[in-house]
Structure formats: structure tokens, C-alpha cells
Amino acid sequence: MKPFNILIICIILIIIILGYLFFNYFNLDNDYINKISNFKTFIYSIAWEDFKIDSKYFDISETDNVLMITTGGCNILNTLLLNPNNIVSCDLSPAQNAILDLKMSAIINLNYDDFWQLFGLGKHDNFDYLYNTKLKKNLKLYSSIDFWEKNSNILSTKGLYNSGKICEPINFLRILYKKKLEKLCNFSDKNEQYNYYLKNIEPILFNRKTKKFVKKIVLEFAGVPKSQIKIVGNGEYSEDILYEFIKNSYDFTVKNWSIKNENYFFHGLLMGYYTKNNCPEYLKEENFEFLKKNVDKIKLFNGTLNDYMNNNNTKFDRFILLDHMDWYEQENQIDTIFNLMYKNSNKNAFGFFRSGNSKSWITEYIKKNKNINLIDLSHEFINDRLGTYPGFFKFEILKNNK
């Protein structure tokens, strides 16, 4: 394709995306939480936290109750494989819960081959039949039924890993650079992969002309609130800092792990499917029967962690907060969630959260809480296949202080 033709296509795509942003987002309240709760679809089809690191520290036993955030549902099911007593999975977005709800119904009602097609390959030729005859009856939430009634094409034709807000800009890149992206995902040697990325992919994604566009994609599609940008920027709201952060994250990831063999996150995002030797633990055939026997341990809740803890008496042993702390801008918000976790925890409970910074005002403030012992695990960043969260923390809830 001639350079002039590529330029014309890029201009057209930019106009389409900007128009899409205007009509779908600018008419919503600027409040980030209100925005994501009003999305008609989900942001994440894949949980964007490296469970391989998490599982080193969870230390879950069969008597433990776990409170988590749903996102793509992958790590809820991965955590189920650790055999806790039960898991409460919360998400502000009913669409995110709809993904996990469908996975749970598929585990109960389908064989492994159909399950793999749906959530390994991301779509199934007979999804409509499976949904109407087997899956719909076991969905836990009415909002899930409503979502899949309106969006069955996601799993019948479009593909789960080609869907969601985070995938929309990637889909445009596939139109222009499909062969280049496929080649990037086909290296077993990570040094060869990295050299190819530097010469053929990075110049496309990160350059002076695309800088503004990339920042807009991250802000509008990738689920990054302004409060988290301030965390990344050490208190400064700077889209330029975010741009460099994303660029460095991509560089770090492509340099250190083979996308083909070691990094299912990027393989799923760029290729639109997993492979059986490069996928989340819950999708492996040897784990399927265990999931069938234990999937009823998961409870779904539409709402925030605070909403659930304010309206239920469950006592938890583990709290998995993902990057939720980065959403906060005020000290009283931190006090509220830690007071709720204290109230709703068993003795010796602890939890984890990630952050866009290994040192921030949030972690310094948590250290002042006499009921919390904060443990810095940020050294694990070098092992994180996503390269997104430099900060990783464990917090122990000290029940004997009162």
C-alpha cells in the first residue's frame, strides 16, 4: 500500500473515532465512575493483572472468603482454582459481570471443547443455540441476560477478544497493520521479537504525529481515570507523562516476554484469541472439572466494593483491590474503604492492591493507619508480564488494635 493511501486511511479512521467519542462519551457526566457504569459494553475482555504474581502471595485456604473486582472474570476463576470457601466478585459495570456470569454458566452446562471455543478462541459458531438452550437458564443476574440478549454477536461473530472499549483502537490497527501484528506475535525468541518491535511496530504506535491520538485512546478507551494519571505523574496531571508511561510499558513487555509463548495478555489483545499453551489457568483442560465442581462458590454483585460491604455481613479473609486505590483523590475515601474492610474482615485477614506508582500519597497515607500494616511488594514489577503497575502492595488488617 502506498504511503499516501495509508495516510488517507489513517485520517478517515481518526475522524470516525473522534466522532464516535463525541457521540458516545461527551454526552455523559464527566465523573469517571458514572461514565463506566453507563457504558453499554465492557472495557476489559481480559483481566489486566498478572495472576502469576498474585498467586505467590494470596496463600488462600479452603476456609477463606475472598472479595474481588470482576473485570474480565479471568482472575476470579483463577482464584477459584486455589479452592477458597467462596468468592464475592463485584463490579460497577454490569457488562463486566455479564462476562463472568456467562463463563460460570458455560462451566456448568458445556463440555470443555465448547468452553474453549467460547473463551479460548473467543467465539463459537453455535453460540446463539448454546445460549438459548443451555447458558441463559443459569445466568445469575438479570443484567447479564439483558446484556447477552443485546450482544450475542460478540460471541457468535465478532469475538470476545475483539470486543470491549480497550479493543476498539486495536481493531483499527489490525485493519492497517494486520500482518505486522501477526508477525510480532509469532516469535519464540524474545530478542528477535524486540528487534522487530523497535523497527516495525514502535514507530507506528509512538511518534510525534500519533502522540495526541494515543493519549486520547488511553483516556477514553483503556479505563484510566484522571486520579490514576496523577498517581503516575507523582501528583501532576499530565497526559504527556501518561503517554511516556504507556510507551515504556510496551517496550518493557515486548523486550522481556515472548508474546507467542509467555504472554497471553498481549496475544489475546493483538490476535483476538488464546492458544492452549499460552492462556489463563482457568482455560486449561486439566482445570475444567475442578471449576465445574466449585463454580457455585462465586457470588456476583453489581456495584462497588463499598456497596457490597455496606449492605452485607460477610466476613472476608482476602481483599483483592486491583488498582482501585488509584481511583481515590481524597483521604476520606481511603479511610472509608479501610474502615469497611476492618469491619468486614476475619482475624489475620489481608489484601492486595496495585498502583501506577510505587510511591504515592496514597501509600504514604495508608502507612499512618494504625490498623494496617503495609508491605511493599513493588520489586515484583520486573516479573509482571504487563509492565503496567510499578506499585504492588500487601496490606495486613490488624484486628487486635482495638
What is the grid cell recorded at 319?
481483599
Q: Within this chain, do residues 4 and 105 fall inside the same structural domain, yes or no?
A: no
Q: Within this chain, do residues 372 and 343 fall inside the same structural domain, yes or no?
A: yes
Give the pLDDT of residue 153. 96
Instruction: Decide: residue 222, CB within 10 A, 0-12 exposed, 13-18 middle, 19+ buried.
Output: middle
Give the pLDDT of residue 14. 43
Q: Within this chain, do residues 107 and 18 fall inside the same structural domain, yes or no?
A: no
Q: Within this chain, do residues 397 and 319 fall inside the same structural domain, yes or no?
A: yes
Q: Within this chain, do residues 294 and 386 fall inside the same structural domain, yes or no?
A: yes
Q: Is residue 377 part of a domain?
A: yes
Task: Report the CATH number that the domain containing residue 394 is assigned in CATH.
Answer: 3.40.50.150
Q: Within this chain, do residues 342 and 387 fall inside the same structural domain, yes or no?
A: yes
Q: Is residue 276 part of a domain?
A: no
Q: Is residue 317 part of a domain?
A: yes
Look up the pTM and report it: 0.88
Amino acid, single-letter form, for residue 26: F
Q: Within this chain, do residues 2 and 101 fall inside the same structural domain, yes or no?
A: no
Q: Is residue 302 part of a domain?
A: yes
Give the pLDDT of residue 173. 80
Give the pLDDT of residue 17. 43
Q: Within this chain, do residues 290 and 384 fall inside the same structural domain, yes or no?
A: yes
Per-residue model confidence as pLDDT tens for the chain (402 residues)? 555 445 544 544 444 443 433 334 333 334 445 544 445 778 889 999 999 999 999 999 999 999 999 999 999 999 999 999 999 999 999 999 999 999 999 999 999 999 999 999 999 999 999 999 999 999 999 999 999 999 999 999 999 999 988 787 788 788 888 999 999 999 999 999 999 999 999 998 887 776 666 655 555 445 566 667 666 656 566 667 777 888 888 999 999 999 999 999 999 999 999 999 999 999 999 999 999 999 999 999 999 999 999 999 999 999 999 988 888 888 999 999 999 999 999 999 999 999 888 898 899 999 999 999 999 999 999 999 998 899 999 999 998 754
Q: Is residue 62 part of a domain?
A: yes
- Burial letters for 181-220: b for 16+ Cβ neighbours within 10 Å, e otherwise? beebbebeebeebbebbeeebbeebbeeebeebbbbbbbb
Give the pLDDT of residue 238. 64
Within 10 angstroms of residue 139's Cβ, the number of other Cβ atoms is 20
Q: Within this chain, do residues 1 and 84 fall inside the same structural domain, yes or no?
A: no
217: region left, alpha or beta (phi > 0 left; psi from -120 to 50 alpha):
alpha
List the domain range (segments joined by +) for residue 316. 51-111+139-144+282-401
Q: Within this chain, do residues 370 and 293 fall inside the same structural domain, yes or no?
A: yes
d(CA 109, CA 211): 46
Q: Is residue 22 part of a domain?
A: yes
Q: Is residue 39 part of a domain?
A: no
Q: Within this chain, do residues 107 and 13 fall inside the same structural domain, yes or no?
A: no
* Total structural domains within the chain: 2
Give the pLDDT of residue 176. 83
- Contact status, residue 44 vs residue 100, Cβ threshold 8 Å: no
Give the pLDDT of residue 109. 98
Q: Is residue 165 part of a domain?
A: no
Q: Within this chain, do residues 361 and 318 fall inside the same structural domain, yes or no?
A: yes
